[in-house]
Chain A
Amino acid sequence: MGIGAARSALAGCLFGVLFSTLLPASGAFAELLFDTPDLALTGRVTSAQEGAMEGVLVSAQRNGSPISVTVVTNQAGRYSFPVDRLTPGHNALRIRAIGYELDGPAAADVAAKGTVTADLALRKVDDIASQMTSTEWLISMPGAEQKRPLIECMSCHTLERVVRSKFTADEFVGVLKRMANYANNSTMQKVQARVTEREVPDDRARRVAEYLATVNLSKRDRWDYELKALPRPTGTATRVIITEYDMPRSTVAPHDVRTDADGFIWYSNFVEPYLGRLDPRTGAHAEFAYNLPKPNFPAGALALEADHDGNWWLAMMFQGGVMKFDTRTKTFRHYPLPAELDSDTAQQSMVMPRQSHVDGKVWTNDVNTHSILRLDLATGAYERVDPFQGMPIGANRQHSPYGMTADQGNNLYFMDFGDESVGRIDAKTFRATIYPTPTPHSRPRRTMLDDKGRLWFAEFAANKLGMFDLDRESIKEWDVPTPHTYPYDVYLDRNGELWSGSMSNDRVLRIDPQTGKSIEYLLPRQTNIRRIFIDNTTTPVTFWAGNNHHAAILKIEPLD
């Protein structure tokens, strides 16, 4: 944080304390405090209905720049861009506040010196449907367990697409069967078909289709259920600066995002054969292309992890195997699956090279066979482990090793995304130990291991965050405050706070596991978050994630 931003943060902090405790309605005091030379752009956001509006996101993007910056209005309706956050020039302004829109286009000519003021008037919208997140649709729709299958839709698109459709139940059966044959690594910008057809049982497709036809527009012009909006941010949830870096093409799908020691941001591209790199200081973007090992199969990689030497590893999804990127030589090396493990449905979604310097082994998975694979770097050979021997697998009960990490002995810890367990594979004996989560069918997804031997993970289907204590071999869970969030990942920062993101609600969660107190930061745009990362080298810590569906990388800097 620059000095200007720090001053601004301090001023905001003082303001927050004073305003919330001593001067609960003192707009004049707020005006006084924010009229400082450290601001590039400021203004008040008002509407006829509410007067001054708290929790409105205001985004500024200079003409031609790939970078947009967002701040949030405080209790007095005031928004403030620190001077070091905006580039002088013509900045288009946009807002996010469900139920409202700008009363006409807004822009500000930010000057090299001095503070520009741009007050913004909002008007009510007639229809909030186009502003709703998938979470809000799920909260609004009638039904309970019938909604469950919809959480899968969000991998590729929001639920607005579903509820606006006019498909009858009969038509939906065909749609569902067709969509099951798209690869996991598909987006609306780049749809990829699986090479091998997947069969969805008729009865299952029919059940889902009949429910969907009751919540879409097949029988009516307007939804007959109330559209429920989540509240706008208040208090500490407004104390944040969000920066979005647009990618050069709309097809870029940043999935896993990581920082390196030089301050660059690296990401895996979920649908294209590139490893991407962003310089957040300048917005400069670079791509490192690799040859597709299987040109006729869906392209793209999912997990991105660094090894001990700072080289990047990619899990190659339907391309098979794992790929190493040598950061010194800028070259790739592919480790293909051997013929006996390879197939048209082989799928490596995860890779864990972090402790490979211990024993020369890199862990990965095979989604198709619900198993763990381990690569021997010296020989290129893979070993296969089925950790679920003796546990039921059936039409509706699957196991699927997914998010993974390794301890100092390169023993593997993994999430059973198909079901409800945390698993451990002993690196020397391949012995598997399975720990069911307290909540059944929790579908734990991605994970991180902290330096105190605690494994933190997101329980996707349970709407919870979990912690597995390696020493005690016990699991603790925390509820995510907003229903239907479906957290994808979690990260513990150096202050002991948990961060999480999801594909559904355009919010980033920050929760103190000691007290259970939480903050949800609303994001400026529809944002499909997968892997998250916290940069602990900054003060305060910095949150990073990709917007998988909208070709952007996201930075969140809390001001508290």
Chain B
Amino acid sequence: MTKSQRASLLLGLALALPLAFAGMAWAGGASLDEDEEDQSNAGVSFFGFAKDLDRGGGVADAKVSAEIKNRNASLVTRTDDQGHFKFSGFSKDIDPKDVEISCSKEGLKLQRTVRRQPPGGEAATSIEVDCLMVKP
């Protein structure tokens, strides 16, 4: 492990441990599991479309990555039939500016991403990012 990776691991530990102990009621299969969405630690979510600029319309089944800067971690999902994607799982301590969205799909290349600043500015709870894709 490099120094920066160790540093990010230590940072992760420092962040995660207090939360882990706060949430010990659930511990691997024997608690009162409920499906209520707890928003107390939820930060900004990201959603958008992968778009085919040559043919028009959305790009289905494109791989979408959300890279979290300095965390040595990323989330990966795929677009649906309409080319839509959503990442809901970031915590409050993540600065949205540190999340970089990118898309890939065989036969296409990512030309650029467009991030739309939503109404509400810093207080926004979701940010739209579109991947604009073209033939290579």
Interface-located stretch among B50-58, B67-75, B107-115, B119-127: B67-75
With a 10 A CB-CB cut-off, give which of A155, A392, A434, A443 has the most chain B CB atoms.
A392
A482 CB to closest chain B CB, in angstroms? 20
Chain A residues lying within 8 Å of B9, measured Cβ to Cβ, are 384-386, 430
Tell which of B8, B15, B27, B31 has the most Cβ of chain A within 10 Å. Answer: B27
Residue ranges of B at the interface with A (Cβ–Cβ < 8 Å): 1-2, 5, 8-9, 11-13, 15-17, 19-21, 23-43, 61, 63, 68, 71-78, 87, 89-94
B89–A184 CB distance below 8 A: no
**A214 interface residue, CB < 8 Å from B?**
no
Bound-complex Cα distance A527 to B13 (A): 40
Given known pairs A386-B16, A388-B16, the reply for A184 and B25 (CB within 8 Å) is: no
Tell me whether A389 and B68 are in contact in the complex, defined as CB-CB below 8 angstroms, given that A184-B29, A441-B35 are known contacts: yes
The CA-CA distance from A145 to B33 in the complex, in Å, is 11
Specify which chain B residues have a CB less than 8 angstroms from the CB of A475 in the assembled complex.
Answer: 78
Interface locus among A97-105, A367-375, A504-512, A516-524? A367-375
| Known contacts A149-B32, A431-B72, A433-B73; A392/B90 CB under 8 A | yes
Interface residues of A in 185-219 (CB under 8 A from B): 198-201, 204-205, 207-208
Q: Are A394 and B29 in contact (CB under 8 A)?
A: no
Chain A residues proximal to chain B, CB less than 8 Å? 145, 148-149, 151-152, 155-156, 176, 180, 182-184, 198-201, 204-205, 207-208, 345, 347, 349, 367-371, 383-398, 400, 402, 417-419, 429-436, 441, 443, 461, 473-475
Contact across chains for A397 and B74 when beta carbons are under 8 A apart:
no
Query: A392 near B91 (CB under 8 angstroms)?
Result: yes
Q: Among A184, A349, A430, A473, which residue has the most Cβ atoms of chain B within 10 A?
A: A430
**Contact present for A429 and B41 (CB under 8 Å):** no
A-B contact pairs, 13 of them (CB 8 A): A149-B34, A152-B29, A369-B17, A387-B73, A389-B71, A393-B41, A418-B26, A418-B28, A430-B9, A431-B74, A436-B87, A436-B89, A473-B76
Please state if B26 and A429 are interface contacts (CB–CB under 8 Å): no
Query: Does the CB pair B29–A417 fall under 8 Å?
Result: yes
A541 CB, nearest partner CB in chain B, Å: 28
Residue in contact with A434 in the complex, picked from B21, B29, B74, CB distance below 8 Å: B74
Pair B38/A395 contact, Cβ less than 8 Å: yes
Closest to A179 in B: B30
Q: How far is the CA of A205 from the CA of B32 in the complex (A)?
A: 8
Excluding A395-B40, A397-B38, A436-B87, 11 further A-B contacts by CB distance (< 8 Å) are A152-B29, A183-B30, A349-B28, A389-B15, A392-B38, A396-B38, A429-B1, A433-B74, A434-B73, A461-B33, A474-B63
Least Cβ distance of A414 to chain B in Å? 13
SS of B interface (majority): loop
- Given known contacts A152-B29, A418-B26, is B41 in contact with A397 (CB within 8 Å)? yes
Instruction: Please name all residues of chain A whose beta carbon is closer than 8 Å to the beta carbon of B42 when the two chains form the complex.
Output: 392, 394
Q: B73, A394: Cβ atoms under 8 Å?
A: no
A389 to B43, CA, bound (A): 13
Residues of A within 8 A of B39 (CB): 394
Complex Cα gap A441–B30 (Å)? 16
**Once the chains are docked, how many angstroms separate the CA of A389 from the CA of B71?**
7
Q: Which residues of B contact A368 (CB under 8 A)?
A: 20, 24, 27
With A384-B9, A390-B94 known to touch, is A180 a contact of B38 (CB < 8 Å)? no
Of the listed residues B12, B13, B74, the one surrounded by the most CB atoms of chain A closer than 10 A to its CB is: B12
What residue in chain B is nearest A199 (Cβ atoms)?
B25
Q: Which 8 A-B pairs have the closest CB atoms?
A: A367-B28, A394-B38, A396-B38, A389-B12, A386-B12, A392-B41, A432-B73, A392-B91
Q: With the chains together, A148 CA to B33 CA distance in Å? A: 7
Shortest beta-carbon distance from A71 to chain B in Å: 34
